[in-house]
Amino acid sequence: MDNSDAPKPPTLLTVREVADYLRVHQRTAYRLITNGTIRAIKIGSQWRVPEQALMEFIESGMKASAPTGKRKAEPDQFKLPLD
C-alpha cells in the first residue's frame, strides 16, 4: 500500500537544537519555550518545538523590527523578543 498521500509529521526540535539554531544559551531557549514566546509541546518531561513554530518566532522578530518610517533601522538587523 502506498502511503505517499499520508501527511508528514512535523519535525520536532529539542531545546538544545533550538538554542543551537538561534545561537543562544540553552537556558534562554528554555525560557522562550516555557513562557510561550516559542510555541512548543511537552512530551513527558521534555519540551519539543515544531520546526514551523521556530520559523514563526524568527519571522515575528523580522516583522517587529521592520522600519516604521520614524527612524532609520540598521540594515539586515532583526530583534527577537527575548523577554
Decide: 38 and 49 in contact? Cβ < 8 Å.
Answer: yes
Looking at the DSSP bridge assignments, the partners of residue 43 are 46
- Tell whether the model's pLDDT for residue 12 goes beyond 60: yes
Note whether residue 1 is domain-resident: no
Question: Alpha-carbon distance 9 to 27, whole Å?
Answer: 27
pLDDT surpassing 60 at residue 77:
no
**Mean per-residue pLDDT of the chain:** 85
What is the 3-state composition of the chain as percent helix, strand, coil, each rounded to the nearest 5?
35, 10, 50
Mean pLDDT within 6-33: 96
Evaluate whether residue 59 is within a structural domain: yes
Q: Which domain holds residue 51?
A: 12-64
Task: Name the one residue in this structure whose C-alpha cell is 525560557.
Answer: 31
**Higher pLDDT pick, 6 / 82:** 6
Flag whether pLDDT at 3 surpasses 80. no
Question: 69 lies in a domain?
Answer: no
pTM for the whole thing?
Answer: 0.71
51, pLDDT greater than 80: yes
Q: What is the DSSP letter of 74?
A: P
